Structure 1
Amino acid sequence: MFRITKEFHFSASHQLSHLPLEHQCARLHGHNYIVVVELSSQTLNEDGFVRDYHDLKPLKDYIDERFDHRHLNEVLGHDKVTSEYLAKHFFDWCRERLPETSAVRVSETPKTWAEYRP
Structure 2
Amino acid sequence: MFRITKEFHFSASHQLKSLPDDHQCARLHGHNYIVEVELSGTELNEHGFVRDYHELAPLKQYIDTHFDHRHLNDVLGHDRVTAECLAQHFYDWCKARLPETSAVRVSETPKTWAEYRP
TM-score range, shorter chain: over 0.9
Q: How far apart, CA to CA, are the structure 2 residues paired with 1:86 and 1:56?
A: 18
Match for 2:67: what amino acid?
F
Structure 1 gap ranges (5+):
none
Query: How big is each residue's C-alpha offset from its partner over 1:68-106, in whole Å with a ceiling of 9 and x where there is no partner?
Result: 000000000001100000000000000000000000000
Q: How far apart, CA to CA, are the structure 2 residues paired with 1:46 and 1:94?
A: 22
Structure 2 gap ranges (5+):
none
Q: Which runs of 4+ in 1 moved over 3 A?
A: none
Alignment of structure 1 residues 75-86 onto 2, 5 Å: 75-86=75-86
Q: How far apart, CA to CA, are the structure 2 residues paired with 1:41 and 1:64?
A: 27
| Corresponding residue of 2:93 | 93
RMSD in angstroms over aligned alpha carbons? 0.2
Question: 1:54: Cα distance to partner?
Answer: 0.3
Question: 1:57: Cα distance to partner?
Answer: 0.1
Q: How far apart, CA to CA, are the structure 2 residues paired with 1:7 and 1:79?
A: 25
Match for 2:13: what amino acid?
S
| Corresponding residue of 2:24 | 24
- How does the TM-score come out when normalised to structure 1? 1.00
Q: Secondary structure at the match of 2:17?
A: coil
Question: 1:66: Cα distance to partner?
Answer: 0.2
